[in-house]
Structure 1
Amino acid sequence: MITQDSQQFIYFANNEGLLEFNGANFTLYPSPNETIIRSAKSIGDRIYTGCYMEFGYWKRQSNGILKYYSLSKNLKHKILDDEQIWNIIDFDQWVVFQSLNQIFLFDTKTSKFKIIKPKSAISRAFKTNEGIYYQTYGEGLFEIENGTGKLISGDALLMKNKIVNIFSRNGKLLIQTQFNGFLELSNGIISKWNTDADADLSNTSIYSSQQLSDGGFALGSVSNGIFIISKEGKLIYHITQNKGLSNNTALSIFEDFDKNLWIGLDNGINCINLNSPVRTFSDDTGILGTVYTSILHDGKLYVGTNQGLFYKTYNSNEDFKFVNGTKGQVWTLFSNDNTLFCGHDSGTFVINGNVSQHIFANSGTWKLEKVPGHPELLMQGNYFGLSILENKNGNWAFRNKISGFDYSSKYFEITKSLEVYVSHEYKGVFRFQLDKNLTKTDKFQTYKNPSKGKNASLTQFNDNIYYSYKEGIFKLNKKTKQFEKEETLSDVFKKDDYTSGKLMVDNSNRLWFFTKNYINYFSFGKLSSQLKHNIVPIPSSLTNSMLGYENITQISNSIYLIGTTDGYYTLNIDELKFNKYKISMSTISINKVNETLRSASIKGHSDFKFADNNITFSYTVPEFNKYINAEYQYLLEGSQDIWSEWSTKPTINFKNLPAGDYTFKVRGKIGNELSENVASYSFTILKPWYRTNLAVLIYVIILCICAYFINRAYKNYYHQQKEKLIEENNRLLEIKELETEQELMKIKNQQLEQDFESKNRELAASTMNLIKKNEFLSMIKDDLKKNSEEGNKNIKSVITTINKNISEEDTWNIFKDAFNNADKDFLKKVKNLHSSLTPNDLRLCAYLRLNLSSKEIAPLLNISVRSVEIKRYRLRKKMDLAHEESLVEYILSI
């Protein structure tokens, strides 16, 4: 069974449970006892279901999810073994649950049951405006009155035929049988209602049926698809698997609020848009192929495809027929003075009914156009330039090729001044002037702006030439001969993704083109010359057109044919009206990072923990038309100030929302019609625990305590600093006293040094005096020796006296005493460092300490200079000095 609730959501009794479809998503609710749900019925705010030995109802919770409540749990002793609930009917305050053995009547006001137990098995129960009926095998048709079954007909026809459904018609009961068509019951008399569809229904097993809102009937068969019959009994449609059904066995039929027909199949679900402005012709055989062009000519519909040219009588159910000789790709169909031309990969044909005449074969033909001022001529765009066709005595023939331009001319336009504009996808836009005879052009200009573009196109609309590619739509300025961007038209590409620049103009002066999500057309208003933008919300994914080869043909004032890769579909723009829909929240889910989603209430105001700041909103507009997609736009107040872009996605996720108050708003759009309402939901992301008022109070208390201890610590610190400062001041005073003492010591040392230097100078002076004295005495001695006569005792006595005065030992003792006074402990230090030194070596060290030269030392030692040098050499050896080390510098450093 199939049913629909007040929100227009559709529900299906399914093998796995209760299946819900809200227009955007399917949701499966598993059956309460893991058995097949056989029946479902929406009544009020409840969805009643029946399955194996169980029945009850589902009710939507605050989080938008259905919850099951059992009604049969208190009737377990009255439910038969293996009993299943096959049908549910509502009538006034009663809900009727029907199995094959008994009927349970549930009073929704008192929540009490009544049970009807027929003598034999029940085939099915039915509801009309007058009452509730049921058929039992071998007994006839019963009506429920006062909680019991009353036989109203035991006619043999009813005994032999299984009743599929019962309807009210003209005060009579119209009974739909399985194999015998319709019967009428009036005043207890059964009669046959003969219809025009009886022949089509013969030998067909009808399993399900539904009376439609227009009074007609939809019949579901076993293995023979769906029959749609008018209220007069005329067959309107017979829809089978080769016409779109998933399979040919229809177990249930349901008409929704929008008059769509839902089919519960043996395996699967189909929805038939009976009142859709779109009608589809699908060529599942592959014979027809991709439709590139079409035209209605002399009551025949011609379609040009990649397989050739086909035709059939318009509005007939006959198959398409092939026009002989047109095998190959047909690019264009053009009617001129009741003559039909076919632009083909092989050239140009004139078509008369089902006969083709090949009038041009030099090159493939893209397009044909009338030549202004020359009704007898046609210009055609070919693979290798442009050429002219001429009408002579009623026969069209090739006249000439236009020389000077040899590029492929898929899109071209010619002005009244015989100026030609050509769009080449890979080379850009060209302009050139034809001569009066339309035979040649001297030169052509290539436009740098606008540039070339994929799937670009060029057309003439309202006496203006337009060029379209991915950067926008450009209009030719007739004065400057330059293309200028037409902002009004180009804005369409900003609002929707570009797929193709193909521009088409119909007989009603409408400019058509295709984008990713829409079919667009511009028309002039009745009261103004402003262009009005109209959209048909059919996305390219459903139109299935060949990109760059989109085509739309006006068949009548309101009906247009649009070619696809596997046939075509027609669009009636007068019937393109959109109902007012309400948008609703379906679910709201929250989760922590890297955790599973949890459902939240979709009603009222909600508070969410800060950790649950990832929120997913799901919403829907219950629109079930195959070719029309709902679009959504949302706004999150508290986070953003403007509405989002329109999107077909029925969910949005907000991650890591900061704490604060928010209101989520969402609205829908079907075509140009906004939803009746804006669904809104207010919620608050609570502050994290560390930002709550209690936490702030604790922070204040902790801050006060910290401030107290910090203040105390600062007081202690400054007290310590004060004491430390006093100590430092005392220490500084002590240091200053020490510095003063050091200064005094320094002065004393300086005085000592001065005294030492003075003594050194005195020692040096005395030493020099000794040296000079000894030298003087030596000179006297030498002179006396030279002048004395041998044996002169007086002179010898003087010489002896002189020798005593220049005695080395006496001189050294005097010097030693003076040297020790000037350089205390030097000789001891030297002796400690070099214990092997003799007194003579120490004497030499003392003389070297005074920085005396060898010449100055020789008289003091009463030896020659050469002997001093030898002594210095021996002293170096004893001190073990390196060759490069100075003896004097070493002694001075001790």
Structure 2
Amino acid sequence: MNKKLLFQTENNGFFVYDNETLLNWDIPASEVISKVSVYRSIQLRDQSFILGTISDGILHILPNGELDYQINNRNGLSNNTVQSIFEDIDNNIWLGLNNGINYINVNSPFSIYNEEQAKLGTVYASCIFNNNLYIGTNQGLFYKSFQSKEHFKFIEGTQGQVWSLVIHNNTLFCGHNSGTFTVDNNKVNLISDIQGSWNFIPFKNNQNLLLQGNYDGLYVLKKQEDQWVLRNKIEGFDISSKFFEIVNPNTILMSHEYKGVFKIKVNDDLTKAEEVVMETSVDKGLTSSVFSYHNHQYYAYKEGVFKYDGKTQTFLKDTLLSNLIPKDKYTSGKLVYDKQTDKLFGFSSKALYFLSPGKLSNTPKINNISLSEFLPRGLTGYENISHLKDESFLIGTDSGYLVLNLEMIQEKSFEVTINSVSVSDLDLSFKAVNLSGNTVFENKDNNVEFAFNIPQFDKYLDTEYQYQLVGMDTHWGQWSKNPSVTFKYLPFGNYVFKVRAKVGNTISKNVASYTFEIKRPWLLSNTMIIVYILILWFFSYLIHNLYKRYYKKQREKLLYKTQNELELKELENQKQLMQFNNEKLQQDIENKNRELGISTMNLIKKNEFLNNLKTELKNTIDVKNIKRVVKIIDKNLNNTDDWNLFEEAFNNVDKDFLKKIKNDHPVLTPNDLRLCAYLRLNLSSKEIAPLLNISTRSVEVKRYRLRKKMDLPHESSLTDYILEI
């Protein structure tokens, strides 16, 4: 130090060796140092000191010798015994303790305060007033001198839930579950014992009046003789009023997350609600709120931020302010406006958003800060943030509070690296792979595990990773906090594993990659592929021949079938031809039968006519001439030409009948055959007589003789027998 040798002792502080003289280094922190036992100490790059003690945590001593801070197990450390200290490349402090390792992020924009956690409780409100920092919690109201190292002190009479702290006209108001208080240094004055005081808003036209929201409606506070008193309740409205805003002296907007948004018209003396209207231009919503920003009133809920239009008396969506509570990350519609810095804050599930004026123009800009680890857990709908100094803000949490310094927020560039690659087979026993070695894995080692990280640790910002396995994935996967990934049962092929990281909203400047190949299985090796090709060729050849034989048989079968069909068709045609010929023959037979019948009837009529003529002529006187005529008639009656003609016609109709009956009965004479022919035509004896030129009686005699010649039994019919031949 200043070219002098500095010594650190265990119990007696610092000593300086100068000009062969050892002197005690008397500094402002000497008294504190003398009360602890120092076990380890280092000088940081900024020339300050970290002293690690045996039972009191660490002390940070500035170069001028002042105590900057002390951290022990009451406000952050997991153990008070510090055995080793290390400053990393980013100037962060690592502590080796009795029970593990602790990390102090010196350059973080966040500082966490959970000192005396059980005493402070959950912080719902905070403010700086008269150089004191006041904290309102579920345990009561606490205070300490701003920027001092002292502990918070409890203000008596404030036990219970503190809802709000509001400064108006140099008076600090405390909204409390037990009523309404004004705060004077370390004391409070009760001005109303009506339970459940939510918040306070001044009337612009009268600074001596405050509108107070309570569990049971709205009240008016009045400054009277330098004292604030409860003046009256606004009658006609009894709904709990946690969030409300004054539009004008006679119009109040109030939102209730379960009942909706109300527009309340009050009389001039603020004693009565003359009209209460449920707003229909927006819906009710959990953790919704109304607030004022730049002299305008807004309503915020899960669908966005809506601005109240005094002309139309409706809410219209504000697209810019809606970005303060993104719908996909929505947790609360409570927005907080800080007039001193002109910043409007909104809270989401993973970040703190704030709207601030542009540095180079009046155009407002929306910024977001990742706060996922230390968002106000358990404070949904009760988020609170207050200005401390410069760009520092206090954010209440369920275990104390955070201090955010916006000036320290800076994006750091970083790179992601792949630490290890491991592979395994079916038993999932992973074995590490040399990152610079062979990247071709056996097919059985198709379970691949990658581990990766970034050389940066920030407790207040989420570190997330996103990866893609080219060769299997076509897109990047989802962001994940897991710094490793395992791909199981990968098929053979070439792959490229890619990974990138994100800290808060900053993405790594590189994409780490690892290229590898998984071999083909033995059954798919080049040798086996050749074998498969040969087998395939053999089976193709075999199948080809089988198909060839099959199609040959099918062709032969088809030809045989076709031939049979043709033969059947020919037989069918022949059958049809025979049927046609038979029909034609039958037609000819019928025609000839008809001709034969006609011929027979002509013969019968001719013979009857000649017989009749013969009979008549016999009765004629001129015998000589008559004999000649009778002779001619007899000649015509016995004309063999008629019989021959008949016989020919009969044979055409009933072929071979006469021949057959002649063969069966050789004794039959021509006249017998002639009688058989007439009987075959089913003619009666009377019809046969003229044909034979005999009497009917003679026909019967001839029939009898014919039966005898044929040896027919007595009971058999001659006609039936002849018809059956």
**Pairwise same-fold verdict (TM > 0.5):** yes
Q: Secondary structure at the match of 1:286?
A: helix
Q: Is the 8 A contact 2:325 2:346 kept in 1?
A: no
- The amino acid that maps onto 1:465 is Q
Three-state SS of the structure 1 residue aligned to 2:231 is strand
Distance of 2:723 and 2:5 partners within structure 1: 156
In the aligned structure 1, how far is the partner of 2:282 from the partner of 2:442? 56
Q: Check whether the contact 2:324–2:355 (CA below 8 A) recurs between aligned residues.
A: no
For the 8 Å contact 1:333–1:340, the answer to whether it is kept is yes
Answer yes or no: is 1:435 the counterpart of 2:253: no
Which of 447, 454, 466 is 2:286 aligned to?
Answer: 454
Alpha-carbon separation, structure 1, partners of 2:533 and 2:49: 77
2:235 counterpart of 1:403: yes
Task: Return the alpha-carbon distance in structure 2 between the equivalents of residues 451 and 466 of structure 1.
Answer: 13
Q: Distance in 1 between matches of 2:261 and 2:427?
A: 55
TM alignment of 1:798-809, pairs within 5 A: none
Q: Which AA in structure 2 matches 1:419?
A: T
How many Å separate the matches in 2 of 1:411 and 1:578?
36
CA distance in 2, matches of 1:551, 1:175: 46
Name the amino acid aligned to 2:149.
N
Shift of 1:677: 2.8
- CA displacement, residues 126-145 of structure 1 (integer Å, 9 cap, x when unaligned): xxxxxxxxxxxxxxxxxxxx
2:121, 2:357 → 1: CA distance?
Answer: 35
Partner Cα separation in structure 2 for residue 639 and residue 545 of structure 1? 42
Structure 2 residue 569 is matched with structure 1 residue 569: no
| Correspondence for 1:621 among 441, 454, 477 | 454
Would you say the 8 A contact 1:466–1:474 is kept in 2?
yes
TM-score of the aligned structures, taking structure 2 as reference length? 0.73
Q: Which amino acid aligns with 1:677?
A: N
Q: Which residue of 1 aligns with 2:501?
A: 668
CA contact (8 A) 1:429 1:447 kept: yes
Change (3 A) 1:396 1:680: same
1:355 correspondence with 2:184: no
Distance in 2 separating the partners of 1:431 and 1:342: 26
- What does residue 369 of structure 1 align with? 201
CA displacement 1:406-446 (0-9 Å, x = unmatched) = 21111111124643211101011122333333333322222
Partner of residue 85, structure 1: none
Partner of 1:556: 389
Asked if 1:200 corresponds to 2:32, the answer is yes
Looking at CA atoms only, which structure, 1 or 2, has the larger radius of gyration?
A: 2
* 540 and 239 in structure 1: CA distance in 2 versus 1, 3 angstrom threshold: closer
Q: Does 1:300 align with 2:136?
A: no
Relative to structure 1, is the Cα distance of residues 428 and 654 closer, same or farther in structure 2, using a 3 angstrom cutoff?
farther
Q: Deviations over 1:250-270 (max 9, x none)?
A: 221111112222111122111
- The whole-number CA distance in structure 1 between the counterparts of 2:564 and 2:498 is 77
Gap change, CA 1:319 and 1:416, over 3 Å in 2: same
Give the partner amino acid of 1:583.
Answer: V
Contact kept? 1:614, 1:654, Cα under 8 Å: yes
Amino acid at match of 1:523: S
Asked if structure 2 preserves the Cα contact closer than 8 Å seen for 1:516 and 1:540, the reply is no
The residue that corresponds to 1:525 in the other structure is 358
Hey, what does 2:419 align to over in structure 1? 586
Q: Structure 1 residues 549, 543: CA separation in 2 closer, same or farther (over 3 Å shift)?
A: closer
Q: 1:572 to 1:737 in 2, by over 3 A?
A: closer
Match of 1:174 in 2: 6
SS at match of 1:467: strand
Alignment of 1:283-322 (within 5 A): 283-284=115-116, 286-322=118-154
Given the superposition, is the C-alpha separation of residues 338 and 695 from structure 1 closer, same or farther in structure 2, using an over 3 Å criterion? Answer: farther
Q: Kindly provide the CA deviation profile for residues 723-751 of structure 1, in whole angstroms up to 9, marking residues without a partner as x.
A: 43444455445545765787799999999
Deviation string 1:101-158 (CA, Å, 9 cap, x unpaired) is xxxxxxxxxxxxxxxxxxxxxxxxxxxxxxxxxxxxxxxxxxxxxxxxxxxxxxxxxx
* 2:651 match: none
From 324, 332, 354, the counterpart of 1:500: 332
Q: Does 1:251 align with 2:93?
A: no
In structure 1, list runs of 5 or more residues that go unmatched: 1-168, 760-765, 770-804, 823-894
Match of 1:539 among 343, 349, 372: 372
CA distance in 2, matches of 1:243, 1:353: 25
Range that drifts further, 600-609 or 392-401: 600-609
Could you tell me how far 1:722 is from its partner in structure 2?
4.2
- The Cα shift of 1:238 comes to 3.1
CA distance in structure 1 between the aligned counterparts of 2:55 and 2:428, rounded to whole angstroms = 48
- C-alpha separation between the residues in 2 aligned to 1:710 and 1:739? 41
| Contact 2:304–2:327 (8 Å) recurs in 1 | no
1:217-256 counterparts in 2 under 5 A?
A: 217-256=49-88
Cα distance in 2, alignment partners of residues 452 and 440 from structure 1: 25
Question: Could you list the per-position Cα deviations for residues 357-378 of structure 1 after superposition, in whole angstroms to 9, with x for gaps in the alignment?
Answer: 2222334211111112222211
From 497, 512, 516, give the equivalent of 1:679.
512
Change over 3 Å in CA distance of 1:186–1:694 after alignment to 2: farther
485, 510, 514: which is aligned to 2:343? Answer: 510
Give the Cα separation in 1 of the matches to 2:288 and 2:441. 52
1:335 counterpart residue number: 167
Match of 1:499, SS state, is strand
Distance 1:644 1:469, change over 3 A: farther
Q: Secondary structure, in 3 states, of the residue corresponding to 1:242?
A: coil
Count of aligned positions: 620
Q: Which amino acid aligns with 1:516?
A: S
Distance (whole Å) between structure 2 residues aligned to residue 700 and residue 235 of structure 1:
83
Question: Which has the higher mean CA deviation after the structures are superposed, 659-668 or 416-425?
Answer: 659-668
- Shift in alpha-carbon separation, 1:449–1:700, aligned structure 2, 3 A: farther
Q: Distance in 1 between matches of 2:82 and 2:131?
A: 37
Paired residue type of 2:363: Q
Gap change, CA 1:501 and 1:640, over 3 Å in 2: farther
- What residue in structure 2 maps to residue 412 of structure 1? 244
Deviations 1:36-75 (A, max 9, x none): xxxxxxxxxxxxxxxxxxxxxxxxxxxxxxxxxxxxxxxx
3-state DSSP of counterpart to 1:200 = helix
> Over the residues paired in the alignment, what is the CA RMSD in angstroms?
4.5
Q: Is the 8 A contact 1:578 1:671 kept in 2?
A: no
Shift in CA distance, 556/183, structure 1 to aligned 2, threshold 3 Å: closer
- Aligned match for 1:426, one of 234, 258, 278: 258
Aligned CA distance change for structure 1 residues 171 and 421 (closer, same or farther; 3 Å): same
2:603 is aligned to: none
Residue 162 (structure 1) aligns with: none
Counterpart AA for 1:490: S
Unaligned stretches of 5+ residues in structure 2:
591-653, 658-678, 683-707
1:274 paired with 2:77, answer no
CA contact (8 A) 2:266 2:275 kept: no
> How much has 1:609 moved relative to structure 2?
6.3
Which stretch shows the higher mean deviation, 192-201 or 368-377? 192-201
Q: Deviations over 1:387-406 (max 9, x none)?
A: 22122232222222223322
Contact 1:421 1:431 in 2 (8 A): yes
3-state DSSP class of the match of 1:450? Answer: coil
Of 439, 445, 469, the residue aligned with 2:301 is 469
Q: Contact conserved, 1:667 with 1:679, CA < 8 A, in 2?
A: yes
C-alpha distance in structure 2 between counterparts of 1:431 and 1:194, whole Å: 67
Give the Å deviation of 1:702. Answer: 5.5
Offset at residue 223 of structure 1 (A)? 2.9
Question: Is the contact between residue 416 and residue 510 of structure 2 (CA under 8 Å) also seen in structure 1?
Answer: yes
Distance 1:373 1:692, change over 3 A: farther
* Matching residue's letter, 1:257: I
Who is 2:690 aligned against?
Answer: none
SS in 2 for 1:526: coil
1:32-181 map, 5 Å: 169-181=1-13
Code of the residue aligned with 2:187 in structure 1: it is V
Amino acid at match of 1:364: G
Q: Distance in 1 between matches of 2:401 and 2:357?
A: 27
Offset at 1:550? Answer: 1.5
- What residue number does 1:212 align with? 44
Q: In the TM superposition, what is the alpha-carbon distance from 1:315 to its structure 2 partner?
A: 1.7
Distance of 1:474 and 1:635 partners within structure 2: 40
